[in-house]
């Protein structure tokens, strides 16, 4: 079965949602007050739940072997977000990793086209 475009788009959105959850976790554990820690972490968990639902819906639209590797783009989103939000360094090796992930996901997706 060929993977439908809507499933690919939904899977990318899923990775954005789950990557946001990871950023929210980081924000939560940095909070001073326990109350705020719990709120931020609960929000992160809720986003992971949304991501899981999106994943299941997307998987109905195509091949697991094409859609699942898209989850690797989460590493890209988190790396870039951490650079902008937490001033974490982006060195040469991280850039190589980012481009390798994007190339790999692209090649796997290209392998699906008939």
Distance CA 1, CA 4 (A): 9
Position 114 pLDDT exceeds 70? no
CA dihedral 54, 56, 58, 61 (to 10 degrees): -160
The secondary structure of the chain in percent helix, strand, coil, rounded to multiples of 5, reads 80, 0, 20
pLDDT tens track for 24-34: 999 999 999 99
Per-residue pLDDT, averaged over 48-72, amounts to: 94
Per-residue pLDDT, averaged over 80-107, amounts to: 95
Q: Model pTM?
A: 0.88
Per-residue pLDDT, averaged over 64-75, amounts to: 93
pLDDT tens track for 79-92: 999 999 999 999 99
- Of 65, 60, 103, 76, the C-alpha closest to 12 is 76
């Amino acid at each position: 079965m060929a993977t439908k475009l809507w499933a690919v788009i939904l899977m990318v959105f899923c990775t954005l949602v789950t990557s946001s959850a990871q950023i929210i976790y980081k924000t939560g554990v940095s909070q001073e007050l326990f109350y705020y820690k719990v709120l931020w972490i609960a929000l992160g968990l809720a986003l992971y739940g949304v991501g899981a639902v999106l994943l299941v819906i997307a998987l109905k639209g195509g091949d697991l072997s094409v859609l699942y590797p898209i989850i690797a783009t989460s590493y890209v989103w988190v790396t870039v977000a951490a650079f902008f939000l937490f001033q974490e360094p982006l060195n040469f090796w991280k850039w190589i990793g980012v481009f390798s992930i994007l190339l790999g996901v692209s090649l796997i997706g290209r392998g699906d086209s008939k």
